[in-house]
Structure 1
Amino acid sequence: MSAYYYLAIAICSEVIATVSMKSVKGFSTPFPLMLVILGYSIAFWMLIIVVRTLPVGIAYAVWAGMGIVMISVAALFIYGQKLDTPAVLGMALIVAGVVVIQLFSKSAGH
């Protein structure tokens, strides 16, 4: 399986874990707490697999950048958290950076 499939799993797992944090209220809400623990465990496990073949800087840039954008979109739909224009512009620049890395960098490993 391609490292990018593992990277996609890592990103999605991290997004689920991070979005679930808002619902954790100590140990009184075990399901969101389990999502956080399981999500981060899977995310780091997959990231460990990814960095075996992709440069760690590239893998982390894609993971963090796409995670920021996906968490913000999820928070919009799940919690109704709105973003202002500078936030949306900043995230567009993050996505543009990931696209530049993927399309033009010889370090991306594809």
Structure 2
Amino acid sequence: MNPYAFLAIAIISEVFGSSMLKVSNGFRRFFPSIGVIIGMGVAFYCLSISLITIPLGTAYAIWSGIGTALTALVGVIVYKENFNTKKILGLVLIIGGVVILKLAAGVSH
């Protein structure tokens, strides 16, 4: 399987696990807590598989940047958190940074 497919699964799993943290009530609710453990477990496993091929800095930047942006969107859409100009600017900067790091990874020295 393509290493970027593993990275995509890692991102989606991490977003799921992080979203479950919100409803786990400090790990007091059983099923959301299990969701956190499974989501994060799959995320780190798939991230580790992607790191066999993808450079660490590139993979981590993509994983954390896109994961942060998607988690923020889940917060806005699912949990009705505020979405304002500063949050939009922050997400644009995160995604822009990920794109620049991905482009830089393609340049060999």
Moved segments of 4+, more than 4 Å: none
Which letter does structure 2 place at the counterpart of 1:101? L
Distance 1:26 1:51 in 2: 31
Structure 1 match to 2:88 = 88
Distance 2:87 2:15 in 1: 18
Distance 1:36 1:21 in 2: 6
Mapped contact 2:21–2:27 kept (Cα < 8 A): no
Distance 1:18 1:27 in 2: 12
Distance 2:89 2:102 in 1: 20
* Equivalence map 1:19-34=2 (5 Å): 19-26=19-26, 28-34=28-34
Q: Secondary structure at the match of 2:76?
A: helix
Superposed displacement of residue 26, structure 1? 4.9
TM-score (norm 2): 0.90
Structure 2 match to 1:39 = 39
The unaligned stretches of length 5 or more in structure 2 are none
Q: Secondary structure at the match of 1:22?
A: helix
Aligned alpha-carbon RMSD (Å): 1.7
Aligned residues: 108
Identity %: 38
